[in-house]
Chains A and B, each alone.
Chain A
Amino acid sequence: QVTLRESGPALVKPTQTLTLTCTFAGFSLSTPGMCVSWIRQPPGKALEWLARIDWDDDKYYSTSLKTRLTISKDTSKNQVVLTMTNMDPVDTATYYCARIFTPQGRYFDYWGQGTLVTVSS
């Protein structure tokens, strides 16, 4: 059974760095074609893709946020970590991690439940 779960601070201060962890089960990020992405959703607004990491450690970032984002993985722990620097109140959102398995397609087939991050002093 495939599951993903996001964890991290619920509250961060402006200018701080956010670190989120996605812990998953039911698949391995060493399997060719396996990828994990981060996606966020401000309250009442649309989904926004942030970053992706692949089984071979290839990394992709949102064009508008790439200077602030770093994605990494720990295959042995089944974890993917996202860091976002210089947090601002506009970064308040629910952050999701989701899986892509490219031999099947380019869609997010499994999602975590999301974690709400509020940016406020």
Chain B
Amino acid sequence: DIQMTQSPSSLSASVGDRVTITCQASQDINNYLYWYQQRPGKAPKLLIYDASKLETGVPSRFSGSGFGTDFTFAISSLQPEDIATYYCQQYDNLPSFGQGTRLEIK
């Protein structure tokens, strides 16, 4: 099974900051990498698909990059409503998720 190593596990940043999260796959997953936002008590919401494509309706401050085993998710200018936990997910054979990054405002 493919393991996803996501870091950091938590992150504190100020409004307007650029924030980055990384995800590393234990083997090559091409671009089958997705990013989700989960607010407390809610289901995850898809933000980025195929490593770098922005889901319809998602603000352009969110972005993704990477291919193969190393991937990055970024928020260009942190907003208060971005407070959430973010997960990466791969789906090369069977799907698996990273451990999540809890994002807080300083």
Measured CB to CB, the residues of A under 8 A from B are 37, 46-49, 52, 60, 62-63, 96, 98, 105-109, 111-114
Contacts and interface: CB of A to CB of B under 8 A. Distances in A.
Contacts of A37: 95
Leading 10 A-B pairs by shortest Cβ distance: A106-B91, A111-B43, A107-B34, A47-B97, A49-B95, A107-B49, A46-B99, A46-B100, A105-B49, A63-B1
A93 B99 CA distance: 15
Given A46-B98, A46-B99, A107-B49, A113 B87 contact: no
Contacts of A113: 42-43
Contacts of B52: none
Contacts, number: 51
Contact of B44 (A48, A52, A106, A108): A108
Contact of B94 (A62, A96, A112, A114): A62
Interface residues of B, number: 23
15 contacts: A46-B97, A46-B98, A47-B89, A49-B94, A49-B96, A98-B43, A106-B91, A108-B34, A108-B44, A108-B89, A111-B43, A111-B45, A112-B43, A113-B42, A114-B43
Interface string B1-45: 100000000000000000000000000000010101010001111
Interface in B25-81: 32, 34, 36, 38, 42-46, 49-50, 55
